[in-house]
A and B are shown apart, each in its own frame.
Chain A
């Protein structure tokens, strides 16, 4: 079974600085997807960024980028120029590339605090 581990329960960053959230996963599959989701307090979870395992290039979405290390099974999220609105719980998630596989496996999250 796949597992996702987020080893940092809490992180903090100064506004305008850069922070990196860690995620490792365990799988025997070669084809899969990895995601980072953001869940602000009392608000719904939204997709931040997605990485296909077959792509060597790291995904980037504006201030958000990932460092995908397939051999190490590591998938970290870098937030550049942090803003107060980035404060949230961040979840890393894994989904099999098998088209019949539907579910995602989530880590337990990292709570990010942004200090003004």
Chain B
């Protein structure tokens, strides 16, 4: 197991398009988190799963954002009708004690 994997690493999309990101956590970790990070800021919590159950969702997350974790394995984060303000690094982490982060997906909305 090589850690947390995120795909793609970079995504450029036109405003109004939908995008989907994937995260494969460390297999022994039952908790999976999504965070968003903009330049010069700390990560902001978006949502987290314990196994397949989505236990918390940030109020920052508008209805355009949805996340799933079918069968408690990998997770996807979808953003519909992207806006320029969605441009950020989207980080996935899984945890036992502290977080193990993936390399992130950098989204640029043009």
**What is the interface of chain A, defined by CB distance below 8 A to chain B?**
4, 33, 35, 37, 43-47, 50, 91, 93, 100, 102-109
Quick one: given A91-B42, A102-B48, A106-B43, are A50 and B102 in contact (CB under 8 Å)?
no
A-side contacts of B42, CB under 8 Å: 4, 91, 93, 106-109
Q: Are B45 and A105 in contact (CB under 8 A)?
A: yes
7 contacts between A and B (CB under 8 A): A35-B98, A37-B98, A37-B99, A46-B101, A102-B33, A105-B45, A106-B42
A-side contacts of B108, CB under 8 Å: none
Q: Are B48 and A103 in contact (CB under 8 A)?
A: yes
Residue from B31, B43, B102 within 8 A of A91 (CB atoms) = B43
Give the residues from 34 to 67 in chain B that come closer than 8 angstroms, CB to CB, to chain A.
Answer: 40-45, 48, 50, 55-56, 58
Q: Are A109 and B41 in contact (CB under 8 A)?
A: yes
Q: Does B100 contact A (CB under 8 A)?
A: yes
Q: Does B91 contact A (CB under 8 A)?
A: yes
Within the complex, the shortest CB–CB distance from B87 to chain A, in Å, comes to 17
Once the chains are docked, how many angstroms separate the CA of A37 from the CA of B101?
10
B-side contacts of A108, CB under 8 Å: 40-42
Within the complex, the shortest CB–CB distance from A38 to chain B, in Å, comes to 11
Quick one: given A45-B91, A91-B43, A109-B40, are A103 and B99 in contact (CB under 8 Å)?
no
Q: Are A47 and B55 in contact (CB under 8 A)?
A: no
Q: Does B104 contact A (CB under 8 A)?
A: yes
Q: Does B13 contact A (CB under 8 A)?
A: no
Quick one: given A104-B45, A109-B40, A109-B42, are A47 and B33 in contact (CB under 8 Å)?
no
Within the complex, the shortest CB–CB distance from B37 to chain A, in Å, comes to 9
Once the chains are docked, how many angstroms separate the CA of A91 from the CA of B98?
13
Residue from A103, A107, A109 within 8 A of B45 (CB atoms) = A103
A-side contacts of B101, CB under 8 Å: 37, 44-46
The residue of chain B having its C-beta at the shortest distance from the C-beta of A45 within the complex is B101
Q: What are the nearest 3 A-B pairs in CB distance?
A: A106-B42, A47-B98, A103-B45
Give the residues from 9 to 49 in chain B that come closer than 8 angstroms, CB to CB, to chain A.
Answer: 31, 33, 40-45, 48
